[in-house]
């Protein structure tokens, strides 16, 4: 177990068509603490898997340094990096049984048979594959194969465990079960772990901290709650959270000393939280970001903004109200009260004082209060 540090790492691919160079990974720095579980999250093509492959030694590093503990590993052979790897497709050896699959790397290294046996029998119950040791991969379910795959990565007692989309081939229920197992095993063995995923739910539920990537660049690195509550830009704001954050262009309107967000097409105005007083002026355009759970229905006491319910959806566990504010998307809010609303009904809205965000419409960066 060790710290994993990436310092200003670049990966450059030459684009054959027009000779231009593209950076798959662009000035990426990250520091994972010893025993930490870090998620690298982003849409497909954002460079997250390339980053992982550079750590594993499967991809050359164009520029920058990668350390495990205090050791620079840039030029170390993959097998000498002491890394455990588990990919999305399990890549188990079909002719070998589960025991032999888990033992394979240790035998290849020439570890003594008794030692191999001890390690396999130690790791197998942790991954709940101890009843499957005699079986061949063909007879296993997807979930079982991935358990064997992770067991095979862990049996080497790696300094760092790398998981690349380990759950994306599994169906809903199995995915949830294995997610829980991975979290519990990490809690037990505390091996420094990096998980690459495009599924924000997976990253949020597993990782101590999440690195969100887009376009080869690190956008934000923080705990699940930090990136959820304080997204640094529009990309992070829109990527994290389900249902997604309402993100819409509004202008700022000042009237009798008070500031309002104005949805121009419908003339709807909602009070600006007081902490933004100094950052905003009348006539400015900003991107407003507010989560469906941070919009409240208030009583008609003059403080809320009157809007018309366009869609009311009762989804059982929760209820959603959507309001047509004249933009491409609806303004959506969630309620947990038992009340049913009707299309056309007038309600009054208020935005959460602390959890309403504003972003620069040009750069997408968050505007601080």
Partner 1 sequence: MAHIALEGISKSFGKVQALRNIDLTVRDREFFVLFGPAGAGKTTILKTVAGIEFPDAGLVRFDDEVVNLVEPALRNVSMVFENYALYPHMTVYDNIASPMRSPLYRKDEAVIKQEVQKVADMMGIGSLLERLPSQLSNGQRQRTALGRCLVRSPRVFLMDEPLAHLDAKLRHLMRTELKSMQAEFDTTTIYVTHDYTEAMSLSDRVAIINLGEIVQIGSSDEIYYTPRNEFVAKLVGEPEINLVDVDLVSREGTLCAVFAGTDRCLPVNDDVAGVLSHSTIPKWRMGIRGLNVGYCFTEEENCVEGSVYNLEPIGNKAILTIKVGESLFQAVAPNDLRAELDSPIYLKLDMNNALFFNGETGDFVVRHNQAELVRGR
DSSP class of residue 319?
E
Q: Quick check: 242 binds partner 1 (CB under 8 A)? A: yes
Query: Residue 360 CA to chain centroid, in angstroms?
Result: 23
Cα–Cα distance between 51 and 49 in angstroms, integer? Answer: 5
Task: By CB under 8 A, name the one of 8, 107, 303, 314 that touches partner 1.
Answer: 314
Strands 285-290 and 356-359, by their bridges, are antiparallel
Q: Quick check: 310 binds partner 1 (CB under 8 A)? A: yes
Nearest to 99, CA basis, from 44, 136, 74: 136
Q: Tokens in use for 140?
A: 């296993």
Q: Tokens in use for 167?
A: 């759950």
Residue number, 60 or 171, with CB nearest to partner 1:
171
CB of 332 to partner 1, least distance (A): 7
Task: By CB under 8 A, name the one of 201, 271, 280, 297 that touches partner 1.
Answer: 201
Backbone torsion region of residue 24, taken as left when φ is above 0, otherwise alpha when ψ lies between -120 and 50, otherwise beta: alpha
Q: Enumerate the H helices of 190-328 as residue ranges.
A: 200-206, 224-229, 234-239
Distant-in-sequence, close-in-space partners of 136: CB < 8 Å, separation ≥ 6: 94, 95, 96, 97, 98
Near partner 1 in 157-176, by CB under 8 A:
173, 176
* Phi and psi, residue 57, nearest 5°: 90, 15
Task: By CB under 8 A, name the one of 28, 37, 99, 228 that touches partner 1.
Answer: 228
89-97, 142-150, 236-244, 263-271 -> range binding partner 1 (CB under 8 A): 236-244
Q: Quick check: 322 binds partner 1 (CB under 8 A)? A: yes
Q: Tokens in use for 288?
A: 């407003």
CB of 331 to partner 1, least distance (A): 11
Instruction: For residue 160, list its beta bridge partners.
Output: 83, 192
Q: Is the dihedral of CA 230, 228, 216, 205 positive or negative?
A: positive
Task: By CB under 8 A, name the one of 77, 225, 283, 342 that touches partner 1.
Answer: 225
Task: By CB under 8 A, name the one of 57, 143, 166, 224 that touches partner 1.
Answer: 224
Task: By CB under 8 A, name the one of 62, 82, 293, 305 that touches partner 1.
Answer: 293
Q: Quick check: 349 binds partner 1 (CB under 8 A)? A: no
Q: Quick check: 20 binds partner 1 (CB under 8 A)? A: no
Q: Quick check: 343 binds partner 1 (CB under 8 A)? A: yes
Task: By CB under 8 A, name the one of 29, 71, 157, 205 that touches partner 1.
Answer: 205
Catalog residues that contact partner 1 under the rule CB under 8 A.
173, 176, 179-180, 183-184, 187, 200-201, 204-206, 224-225, 228, 238, 240-244, 291-293, 310-311, 313-317, 320, 322, 324, 328-330, 332, 334, 340, 343
């Amino acid at each position: 177990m060790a710290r994993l540090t990436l310092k200003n790492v670049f990966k450059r691919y030459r684009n054959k068509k027009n000779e231009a160079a593209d950076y798959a990974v662009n000035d990426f720095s990250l520091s994972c603490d010893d025993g930490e579980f870090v998620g690298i999250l982003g849409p497909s093509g954002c460079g997250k898997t390339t980053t992982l492959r550079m750590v594993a030694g499967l991809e050359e590093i164009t520029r920058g340094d990668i350390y495990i503990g205090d050791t620079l590993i840039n030029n170390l052979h993959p097998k000498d990096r002491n890394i455990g790897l588990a990919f999305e497709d399990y890549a188990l050896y079909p002719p070998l049984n589960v025991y032999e699959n888990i033992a394979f790397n240790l035998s290849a290294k020439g570890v003594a048979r008794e030692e191999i046996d001890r390690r396999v029998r130690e790791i197998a119950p942790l991954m709940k594959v101890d009843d499957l040791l005699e079986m061949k991969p063909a007879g296993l379910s997807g979930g079982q194969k991935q358990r064997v795959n992770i067991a095979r990565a862990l049996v080497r007692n790696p300094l760092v465990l790398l998981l690349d989309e380990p759950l994306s081939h599994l169906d809903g229920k199995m995915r949830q079960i294995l997610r829980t197992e991975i979290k519990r095993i990490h809690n037990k063995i505390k091996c420094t772990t990096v998980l690459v995923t495009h599924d924000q739910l997976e990253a949020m539920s597993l990782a101590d901290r999440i690195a969100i990537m887009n376009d080869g660049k690190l956008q934000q690195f923080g705990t699940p709650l930090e990136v959820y509550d304080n997204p640094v830009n529009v990309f992070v704001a829109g990527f994290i959270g389900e249902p997604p954050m309402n993100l819409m262009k509004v202008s700022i309107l000042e009237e009798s000393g008070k500031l309002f967000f104005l949805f121009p097409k419908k003339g709807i105005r909602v009070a600006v939280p007081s902490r933004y007083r100094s950052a905003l002026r009348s006539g400015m355009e900003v991107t407003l970001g507010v989560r469906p759970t941070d919009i409240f229905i208030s009583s008609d006491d003059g403080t809320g903004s009157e809007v018309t319910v366009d869609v009311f959806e009762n989804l059982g566990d929760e209820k959603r109200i959507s309001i047509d504010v004249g933009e491409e998307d609806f303004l959506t809010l969630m309620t947990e009260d038992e009340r049913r609303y009707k299309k056309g009904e007038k309600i009054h809205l208020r935005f959460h004082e602390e959890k309403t965000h504003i972003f620069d419409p040009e750069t997408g960066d968050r505007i601080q209060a």
